[in-house]
A and B are shown apart, each in its own frame.
Chain A
């Protein structure tokens, strides 16, 4: 089944404790991206990647890191999480200029 998976689905952590949210797709898509969704603000892009070893900043990259060492994986790293990073996070993938396939979301709470 074609899908995008994210883990964990829910995470409660404390300020400053490094964390990684994994994202994996099985559709051989070139394009992958991370979004955060906050009430009233819609989806804002954090980082995106057009292919292996090619990543670029989206609209709200501060406080986040990504890597794209393999085509299927695109982890999101928060080196030192802060409470303002409490949000709902989505990973998505697509072949360029086609529909995005979204993961189920990761609800992150930073205390």
Chain B
């Protein structure tokens, strides 16, 4: 079953505005990652935040992680038309008993930036 759930499912904003999307998950994680996908293409890694981190920045991206609420947010500041894409959160977990590593993706948020 999918671990992460993004909210909203779709988002439409004007160029220059900020875009915020959220991800909630169910079980404990080691890291949370955000990916971007342009239509029909492979996913591209944006940022990874570890479970002991609360906030991380990369260029115009800001990610927060609240492990007590099992949630994360991705903020894209000063959006551009080129930011139009789908954004996915992914949680990774190492199950210590089985030494099993699992990466689970949510269903994604589709962001449209209007020029």
A contact set with B: CB distance below 8 Å: 4, 31, 33, 35, 40-45, 48, 50, 56, 58-59, 88, 90, 92, 94, 96-105, 107
A97 touches B88 (CB 8 A): no
Other than the known A43-B43, A99-B45, A102-B42, what 10 A-B pairs have Cβ atoms closer than 8 Å?
Answer: A40-B107, A42-B107, A45-B102, A50-B100, A59-B2, A59-B104, A97-B31, A97-B92, A100-B45, A104-B41
24 cross-chain CB contacts under 8 A: A4-B42, A35-B105, A41-B107, A42-B2, A42-B107, A45-B102, A45-B103, A45-B105, A48-B103, A50-B100, A59-B2, A88-B40, A96-B101, A97-B30, A97-B31, A97-B94, A99-B45, A100-B45, A100-B90, A100-B103, A102-B42, A102-B44, A104-B41, A105-B41
B85 proximal to A (CB < 8 A): no
Rounded to whole Å, the gap between the CB of A33 and the closest CB of chain B is 7
Residue in A42, A59, A90, A96 whose beta carbon sits within 8 Å of that of B42 in the complex = A90
Could you tell me how many residues of chain B have their Cβ less than 8 Å away from some Cβ of chain A? Answer: 26
Chain B residues near A88 (CB-CB < 8 A): 40
Where chain B touches its partner, the secondary structure class is strand
Query: Are B42 and A105 neighbours in the complex by a CB distance under 8 Å?
Result: yes
